[in-house]
A and B are shown apart, each in its own frame.
Chain A
Amino acid sequence: MKNAKVIIVGGGLAGLMAAMKIAEKQVKVDLISLVPVKRSHSVCAQGGINAALNTKGEDDSTWQHFDDTIYGGDFLANQSPVKNMCEAAPGIIYAMERMGVMFNRTPEGLMDLRLFGGVKKRRTAFAGATTGQQLLYTCDEQVRRLEDLDFVKKYEGWEFIEAIIDEAGICRGCIAQNLASMEIKEFLGDALIIATGGAGMVYGKSTNSTINTGSAASIVYQQGAYYANAEFVQIHPTSMLGDDKNRLMSESARGDGGRIWTYKNGKPWYFLEEMYPAYGNLVPRDIASRAIYQVCVEMGLGIDGKNQVYLDLTHLPEEYLNKRLGGIIDIYQNFYGDNPKKVPMKIFPAIHYFMGGIHVNSNHMTCIPGLFAAGECDYMYHGANRLGANSLLSALYSGTVVGPAAVNYINSLDSLAAEKGQKSGAQGVKHQQEIHNKITKMHGTENPYALHAEMGEEMTQNVFIVRHNKNLAENDQKLQEYLKRWENINMLDNNSYSNQTIMYVRQLKNMMELARVITLGALRRNESRGSHYKPEFPERDDENFLKTTLAAWRPNGPQFSWEDVDTSIIKPRKRQYSKPKEV
């Protein structure tokens, strides 16, 4: 349709890929992002991106990638979309290569591949230990070119605060606020794509960037989209705990030969290798995290009596490490002081990734027509546990799906937002201006930062590696109290220009709403599956819980329902990593 426009919120891999695909179809894009898109969180990804390129003489195939992903996700992911993703993966990587990503090379000049968790074949393409950075920069370059060609208009330094939904229930764009001038403005568009990434800040500290609040996803959930499988939160086994954030030490460290150990009876104990002989240090993340937790918290065998074990690279040749893991070695050394080439790193599990997210259909559209979601903020590809190096893939892949799907959707419309969205847009601006004015006048006694820290600690205490129903129920009580205390916040900043506290206070409320979905979703799921582990219910229970959790926002709290999982291709089987996986 002529003069149609798509609004994309988020310029990480998913949003940028969607923008490219839409521009290729000659449709214009407004791209809204909190930060210059080149600083999006995708920049943090270290280890690599999966695709069965089969260039290592190991008989790899997209089918095996598919089976590993489904098995790794404990059979909770819908199978058809995952299969499509695995089949598209090699093409995506080759396109990224053409666009300029400097992947590591073999002596023949082919892309090199490394081993990752939960798999037996080398399938992970990488650019040193800064793969996300290189992928993001390459997409950023392409989108800059599209900007130069007038297909894309970027609005960096704007925060999405509301979707525009007209009287007929159709999404017509969004309302966003400028982070410097604080102007609130409507962005009318015929489709709205939310590509806003993960929500680590809900837990206060995580491996995520500080902008990963999940606020945008929470907003569309509160406006009527379903939020799915919130309880599945990935806890990465190897991170360096810090006061300001937990810094990731990529799985590639183990993929390239790193070993995990602690002392038992005065001798090094390589417990993962002992417990899971078939996969050793490369068991999936949920399993490794539980083992480390068990060794430290339950057996009290952490190094120096603390919650930490060693991740050891010291046996590997220095040049090999420099070439392949330089990026993360720098991070450890810069922030911790020790040189991982000489001294084993001290690590512990930390909140890392959200398998759950905004519920979408196979076209990445939510139940609200015109409202789409892609990237880490959707729920589609990872089931109950994500395999390492699969989320850069799902972010890019979902961008390739959502872009064309949004254009197709627009072609089916009989009128455009420019005429149909105006009224709702103006109402939205007015409504948000009122909220803004209300927040600026909040002069209660609660410190927003302290309140956030408190919530983060409770979440990390109660909705972490090991979950108990009693704690989950109590946690929800606490969250309801926090929501009340939020009303009594003190807006610390009185400057009306570039006021970060106002935005933070907005985000905090949205994080609380999302935290409730995570907590109550976990409470309802009385089984253990993937990252969700309850000692009271230690087994997977397909009969009752081979289902997607759906949450709908209600004023008193989330209302839950279940949806069947597409298991049409691979029959669910028991997931165990002590033995080789039969395909």
Chain B
Amino acid sequence: MPAYIHLKIKRQNEPNAKPYWQEFKIPYNPNMNVVSALMVIRQNPVEISGKVVDPVVWECNCLEEVCGACTMLINGMPRQACSALIDNIFKEKGSEKPIILEPLSKFPTIRDLMVDRKVMFDNLKKVKAWIPVDGTWDYGSGLRISEETQQLVYPISRCMTCGACMEACPNVNKKSKFIGPSSIAQVRLLNAHPIGAMHKKMRLKALIQKGGIHECGNAQNCKRVCPKNINLTRHIAYMNREVNSYALRQFLEED
């Protein structure tokens, strides 16, 4: 059993400050994860040199990998800190090497490991990821959705807007406006719903605007890092076909 956990953390005091690194060693316990390790540091923020420092700031909430808050780079991989079990990391990499924690790099840093993912919510606005109902009131039952459709799109509805796919995608970068894989998949989810389907076109149209689906370079990293195993590449391919036939129809009708 290892005696301690060694962490190397990239820190930044505020949005425009210069990042720096600090290292911490904390006592090992079985069944810990990266969040519980950060909690130990928070309670007693002493650097490896013995210097007392400000506690590390990060975001977390549910601690069961459904809220998406605690996404960060752990040994270079974007993933949720709560479900990154220390024992598993040690099994893969050994306990000698430090575990490296960094904030997601594709989003502005707020402080330390905490970033601002507002752009992802804005992207959901861009693709109009909602169903324009008449109102929230009750007018009885009526919808039928096949089991097959439900089973096909339910996995997309588990997307936590965590940002892992954005982080991994080479086409999401400072120069591009690419809305990223998760928002494209959401369009498939909403278009599959019987009422959502009535408003298909507004979302397809959104997908061909600047930063839309054509900016996907098919690197397929998104699917590999999605913590919910959403088949993002398949959904993007499907939406690509939909968008193409929509564009073609637009072209024919307008002529």
Contact = CB atoms under 8 A, between A and B. Distances in A.
Given A104-B150, A243-B29, A331 B64 contact: yes
Nearest to B228: A330
Contacts of A142: 130-131, 133, 136
A335 interface: yes
A334 B129 contact: no
Contact of B39 (A20, A105, A107, A244): A244
Interface stretch (A143-151, A227-235, A421-429): A143-151
B33 interface: yes
Contacts of B141: 53, 90, 94
Interface in A466-499: 492-495, 497-498
Interface string A214-234: 000000000000000000000
A493 B132 CA distance: 46
A141 B129 contact: yes
A273 to B, nearest CB: 29
Of A101, A134, A493, most buried by chain B (CB within 10 Å of CB) is A493
A222 to B, nearest CB: 25
A243 B86 CA distance: 13
A147 B130 CA distance: 12
Contacts of B247: none
B253 interface: no
Contact of A492 (B13, B54, B62, B143): B54
A435 interface: no
Contact of A133 (B13, B14, B117, B158): B158
A51 to B, nearest CB: 11
Contact of B64 (A35, A39, A108, A247): A247
B63 A141 contact: no
B150 A43 contact: no
A501 B58 CA distance: 12
Indicate the size class of the contact surface on chain A: 35 or more
Contacts of A53: 141
Contact of B55 (A35, A211, A492): A492
Most chain B Cβ neighbours within 10 Å, of A20, A100, A101, A209: A100
Interface in B32-59: 32-33, 35-36, 39, 42-45, 54-55, 57, 59
Nearest to A134: B157
Contact of A497 (B63, B111, B135): B111
Interface residues of B, number: 70
Contacts of A263: none
Given A210-B63, A450-B43, A498-B57, A92 B138 contact: yes
A265 interface: no
B241 interface: no
**Interface SS of chain B: helix, strand, loop or mixed?**
loop
B145 interface: yes
A323 B129 contact: no
Contact of B121 (A36, A43, A98): A36
A95 B61 CA distance: 28
Contacts of A43: 62, 66-67, 160
B18 interface: no
A20 B136 contact: yes
Contacts of B193: 100, 102
Contact of B61 (A97, A100, A130, A211): A211
A91 interface: yes
B44 A447 contact: yes
Interface string B93-127: 00000000000000000110010011001001100
Interface in B196-226: 196
Contacts of A248: 64
B67 A98 contact: no
B89 interface: no
Nearest to B161: A38
A449 B43 contact: yes
Given A144-B125, A245-B64, A495-B13, 13 more contacts: A36-B117, A94-B138, A94-B140, A94-B143, A104-B147, A109-B144, A137-B157, A142-B136, A144-B130, A243-B31, A244-B36, A245-B63, A331-B65
27 contacts: A20-B136, A38-B68, A38-B121, A38-B161, A90-B138, A95-B133, A99-B136, A102-B189, A105-B145, A106-B147, A109-B144, A109-B145, A128-B154, A128-B158, A133-B158, A141-B124, A142-B130, A147-B125, A243-B32, A244-B32, A327-B158, A330-B65, A334-B65, A334-B83, A400-B136, A494-B54, A498-B110
Interface of A: 17, 20-21, 24, 35-36, 38-41, 43-44, 53, 88, 90-92, 94-95, 97-110, 127-128, 130, 133-134, 137, 141-142, 144-145, 147-148, 180, 209-211, 242-245, 247-248, 323, 327, 330-331, 334-335, 400, 447, 449-450, 492-495, 497-498, 500-501
Shortest beta-carbon contacts, A-B, top 9: A91-B138, A109-B144, A141-B130, A244-B36, A498-B111, A449-B43, A497-B14, A145-B130, A39-B67
